[in-house]
Structures are given as structure tokens and as C-alpha cells.
Amino acid sequence: MVSEDMDYMSIVSDSIKEQTAKLCEYYFNNIISQYGIKDVLQQLRDYCEPAFFHNVHVCKRVIMIGIIKNYSEKQITEMATAGILLDVGYIRIQREYLGKQTSLSETEFEEIKNHPYYSQSIAQEIHQNEIVQKYILDHHKIENGGYPLSEEKYTLSTEQSEINAADRYEALLEWRPYRPPMDFLQAVQTMYYMCSSVTEKAALNILLITSIYLQK
């Protein structure tokens, strides 16, 4: 559990934070310079601006996870590229379903749940590899659950758990029609209770460290 008395943000020196921020920006700039990404991100921003900013935040948090864990440049690029494309499939969903102020109907919710398929399809269209596409398709999965549903027993990879944790955490920090944004402590405690496996708990631990650098 997380104590309110713990000051996570002061553990790392300012110089290390600055160096890490520069490295994060290097990766981010390389990712958005890939073929087609700026175009689809602009489409997403025009269509559903909150989803655009959410994807940017997820991307940067995933980059930070990769840096902290000393992943290869290829690993970081693939994971963070998936992060910035997770929700681009929203552009293929009726606009009125997104950010709806009242409860979604079953039909509307089922359509929202199709967005990983749409996002994967867009990633394929802009020539992202199968690893990136898989990360995108499975970003709402949890151990043996979530969506899209799988007929077989499903175990999350470490990298997939980290992407999914970043996605959930950023969502908790953001405003939703059905709740206000959570603060750091509320979000972490909620994530803690959502963890259903050792892999997911390990991803949450790494997520906590990223907050030292990203200040949230």
C-alpha cells in the first residue's frame, strides 16, 4: 500500500530528472516522426481531443517505464508507439458515444469496446509491425479477462502489463463524465486493488517510479 507520508517526488536528484526528461523527449520525437503517426494523431485530436492527450500521456509514461527498466531502443519504441496509438480507433466510432454524459446503452458500450480492433487496423495501415499491433489489440486485457475476449487462457507479458497499467493509470488521473479526476494516491490505491497477478503488481511498482520523473 501507499502511504500519504511518502514523498516519492523528492527521491531522485534534479539533474537525473533533467537527463531522463531529455531522453524521454528524444524517444517521443522519434516515435511521432514515424510514417503516418502525425496524421492519425491529428485526426484523433480533431475528433476526440481528450483521447489524443490521453494517448500522448500514455506514450510518455511507457517511454519512462522503458528507460527505468533499461529496455532496448527497439523495445521502448515498439511499446511507446503502441501507447500513442491505443485509442486512434475512436475516429471510427460515432462521435456521440465518446464522452457521453449519460450511461451508454449496451449497443453503444459494445461499439466502444471495438476500438482496440480499429486502432490495430489503423496501426497496420501505417505499417506498424505485429508486435505493436498486438500491444494495441490487447491494451484492455487483464489476466484471463478484459476485452477483446479470448477463448484461450490469457497471460499478459511483462511489457503488455506495463502498457496496460500506464493506460489505466492515466485514465484514472483524467476527468470522466461519471467521476472527477483522481489524485496520485487515489489512483495508485485503485490500481493496487485492480491487480490480479504478480505481473500486474510488478507493473504497478514500476509505474510508481515513473511518477518520480513525471511529477504525477
- Taking CB atoms within 8 Å and a gap of at least 24, the contacts of 134-139 are 134/160, 135/78, 135/79, 135/82, 135/159, 135/160, 135/163, 136/82, 136/85, 136/86, 138/164, 139/82, 139/86, 139/163, 139/164, 139/167
Instruction: Write down the pLDDT at residue 173.
Output: 95
Instruction: Write down the pLDDT at residue 150.
Output: 63
Instruction: Write down the pLDDT at residue 19.
Output: 86
Instruction: Write down the pLDDT at residue 12.
Output: 58
Q: Give the predicted TM-score (pTM) of the model.
A: 0.89
Is residue 164 within 8 A of residue 141, CB to CB? The reply is: yes
Cell output for 151: 477463448
Instruction: Write down the pLDDT at residue 120.
Output: 98
Cell output for 37: 503517426
CA–CA dist 178, 91 (Å, integer): 22
Instruction: Write down the pLDDT at residue 2.
Output: 47
Residue 56: CB partners within 8 Å, gap ≥ 6? 84
Helices 115-125 + 73-85 axis angle, to 10: 120
Q: Please list the pLDDT of the chain residue by residue as tens digits (216 residues).
A: 444 444 544 555 777 778 888 999 999 999 999 999 999 999 999 999 999 999 999 999 999 999 999 999 999 999 999 999 999 999 999 998 998 878 888 999 999 999 999 999 999 999 999 999 999 999 998 876 778 866 566 788 999 999 999 999 999 999 888 789 999 889 999 999 888 788 888 999 998 888 877 877
CATH superfamily label, 8-214: Hypothetical protein af1432 (1.10.3210.10)
Instruction: Write down the pLDDT at residue 82.
Output: 98
With residue 45 as reference, give the H or E element that holds it.
Answer: helix 37-47
CA–CA dist 3, 6 (Å, integer): 6
CA-closest candidate to residue 127, choices 40, 214, 7, 3: 40
Cell output for 119: 486502432
